[in-house]
Structure 1
Amino acid sequence: MATVSSLAVILALLAPTNQPIATNQPIATYACRADTKFGRHTISVRQAVDAQAPAVVPANTRFTIAVHLQPGTLPGEVKGFKLKEVRDLTLRVPIPANSSYVSAGLAGGSGLNSTPSVQLEGNTAVLKVAGPIPGGATFQLPTLSVRLKSGRAGTTIETKLKGSSYDDPGLTFQAKIKWKFITTTAPVSCYPDPNPALTRTTIRSPHLAG
Structure 2
Amino acid sequence: MATHRSVMVLGVAVLPLLLATGAEAAPTASYACRADTKFGRQLLSLRQGVDAKAPATVRPNARFAITVDLKPGWLPGEVKGFKLQEVRDLSLRVPIPANSSYVSSRLTGGSGLNSTPTVQLDGRVAVVKVPGPISGGASYQLPTLAVRLQAGSAGTVIETRLKGTSYDDPGLTLQAKIKWKFISITAPVACYPDPNPALTRTEVRAST
State whether structure 2 residue 25 is matched by structure 1 residue 22: yes
- Could you tell me how far apart the structure 2 residues matched to 1:170 and 1:78 are? 24
Aligned match of 2:132: 131
**After the TM superposition, which parts of structure 1 deviate over 4 Å for at least 4 consecutive aligned residues?**
none
Letter in 1 for 2:126: A
Q: Secondary structure at the match of 2:185?
A: strand
Aligned match of 1:153: 154
1:26-65 to 2 correspondence within 5 Å? 27-43=28-44, 45-65=46-66
State whether structure 2 residue 16 is matched by structure 1 residue 8: yes
- Could you tell me how far apart the structure 1 residues matched to 2:45 and 2:86 are? 21
- Could you tell me how far apart the structure 1 residues matched to 2:90 and 2:25 are? 24
Letter in 1 for 2:195: P
Letter in 1 for 2:25: A
- Could you tell me how far apart the structure 1 residues matched to 2:125 and 2:59 are? 23
- Could you tell me how far apart the structure 1 residues matched to 2:59 and 2:120 are? 26
Q: Name the TM-score, length of structure 1 as normaliser.
A: 0.89
Deviates more, 1:120-129 or 1:45-54: 45-54
Letter in 2 for 1:75: P
Deviation per CA, 1:81-110: give whole Å up to 9, x if none: 211100000000000000000000001000
Task: Judging by fraction of residues, say which structure has more strand.
Answer: 2
Q: Name the TM-score, length of structure 2 as normaliser.
A: 0.90
| Alignment size in residue pairs | 195
Deviation per CA, 1:139-178: give whole Å up to 9, x if none: 0000000000000001000000000111110000000010
State the shift of 1:7 in Å. 4.5
Letter in 2 for 1:8: P
- Could you tell me how far apart the structure 2 residues matched to 1:59 and 1:184 are? 51
CA contact (8 A) 1:7 1:34 kept: no
Letter in 1 for 2:179: K
Letter in 2 for 1:120: L
Deviation per CA, 1:96-125: give whole Å up to 9, x if none: 000000000001000000000000000000
RMSD: 1.4
**For structure 1, which runs of at least 5 residues remain unmatched after alignment?**
1-5
1:52-201 to 2 correspondence within 5 Å? 52-201=53-202
Task: Judging by fraction of residues, say which structure has more helix.
Answer: 1
- Could you tell me how far apart the structure 2 residues matched to 1:163 and 1:112 are? 24
Deviates more, 1:194-203 or 1:74-83: 74-83
- Could you tell me how far apart the structure 1 residues matched to 2:47 and 2:194 are? 10
